[in-house]
Structure 1
Amino acid sequence: MDSVYRKGNKGGKKRSSEKRKNMISSYLYIAPFFIIFAVIGLYPALFSFYLAFQSWNGLGDMSFVGLNNFRIVLEDPLFWKSLYNTIIIGLIGTAPQIVIGIILAILLNVAFLRLRSFFRVTIFMPYITSMVAVALIFSVIFSNHESSLANYVLGLFGMEPVSWATSEWGTKIAISIMVFWRWVGYNTIIYLAGIQSIPNDVYEAATIDGANKFQQVIHITLPLLKPFIILTVFFSTVGALQLFSEPTVFLGAAAFTRDEAMTVVMYLYRDAFRLQSFGTASATAIILLVIIVIFAAINTYVASGRLGKKKGRG
Structure 2
Amino acid sequence: MGRGMNRQNTGWLFISLAVAAITIFYFYPMLQALLLSFQSGMGANLEYVGLANYIRLFNDPTFLTALKNTLLYLLIQVPLMIVLALIFSVLLNDATLKFRSFFRIAIFLPCVTSLVAYSVIFKYLFGMDGLVNQFLLNVSLISAPIQWLSDPFWAKVTIIVAITWRWTGYNMIFYLSSLQNVDQSIYEAAKIDGATPFQQFTKITIPMLKPIILFTSITSTIGTLQIFDEVVNITNGGPGNATLSISQYIYNLSFEYTPDFGYASTVSYVIVMLVIVLSIVQFKVAGEKK
* CA distance in structure 2 between the partners assigned to 1:183 and 1:276 by the alignment: 33
Q: Which residue of the partner structure matches residue 121 of structure 2? A: 137
Residue in structure 1 matched with residue 274 of structure 2 by the alignment: 291
Residues 22-171 of structure 1 mapped to structure 2, 5 A cutoff: 22-57=7-42, 59-143=43-127, 145=128, 147-155=129-137, 156-171=140-155
**Residue 56 of structure 1 aligns to a residue in which SS?**
strand
Verify the 8 A CA contact 1:94 1:179 in the aligned structure 2.
Answer: no
Cα deviation for residue 84 of structure 1 reads 0.8
Question: Residue 240 of structure 1 aligns with which residue?
Answer: 224
| Residue 243 of structure 1: how far off its partner (Å) | 1.0
Distance between the aligned counterparts of 1:101 and 1:213, measured in 2? Answer: 17
Q: Which amino acid aligns with 1:100?
A: L
1:277 deviates by 0.6
CA–CA separation in structure 2 for the residues paired with 1:97 and 1:117: 21
Which residue of 282, 286, 294 corresponds with 2:265?
282
Q: Deviations over 1:197-246 (max 9, x none)?
A: 21122223223333333322221111111111111111111211111111
Q: Using the aligned pairs only, state the percent identity.
A: 34
Amino acid at match of 1:236: S
- For the residues of structure 1 that align with 2:76 and 2:199, how far apart are their CA atoms? 29
TM-score of the superposition, structure 1-length normalised? 0.85
Q: Is residue 270 from structure 1 mapped to residue 255 from structure 2 by the alignment?
A: no
Which amino acid is 2:20 matched to? I
Query: 1:44-99 deviations in whole A, cap 9, x for unaligned?
Result: 00000100111132x22321100011112221011110011111222333221111
Task: Please point out which of 182, 188, 207 is paired with 2:191.
Answer: 207
**SS state at 1:197 partner:** coil
Contact 1:69 1:280 (C-alpha < 8 Å) held by counterparts: yes
Residue 10 (structure 1) aligns with: none
What are the equivalent positions in structure 2 for 1:173-184 lying under 5 Å apart?
173-184=157-168
With over 3 angstroms needed to count, the CA separation of the structure-2 counterparts of 1:21 and 1:257, relative to structure 1, is: farther
Flag the 1:216–1:257 CA change in 2: closer, same or farther, 3 A.
Answer: closer
C-alpha separation in 2, matches of 1:192 and 1:258? 41
Cα distance in 2 between the residues matched to 1:84 and 1:159: 32
User: Runs of 5+ in structure 1 lacking a partner?
Assistant: 1-15, 308-314
Question: What is the alpha-carbon distance in structure 1 between the residues aligned to residue 83 and residue 92 of structure 2?
Answer: 14
Structure 2 counterpart of 1:80, one-letter code: L
Q: Which of these two proteins has the greater Rg computed from alpha carbons?
A: 1
Following TM superposition, by how much is the alpha carbon of 1:300 offset from its aligned partner in structure 2, in angstroms?
4.2
Q: Is the CA contact 1:73–1:79 (under 8 Å) kept in the aligned structure 2?
A: yes
* Match of residue 9 from structure 1: none
For 2:271, give the aligned amino acid: L
Q: Is the 8 A contact 2:37 2:264 kept in 1?
A: yes
State the 1:100 CA deviation.
0.9
Would the aligned equivalents of 1:256 and 1:266 in 2 still touch at CA under 8 Å? no
Once the two structures are TM-superposed, the CA of residue 279 in structure 1 deviates from its matched residue by 0.8
Distance 1:122 1:32 in 2: 40
Query: Which is helix-richer, 1 or 2?
Result: 1
Alignment: residue pair count? 285
Looking at structure 2, the residues matched to 242 and 131 of structure 1 have their Cα atoms a distance apart, in angstroms, of: 13
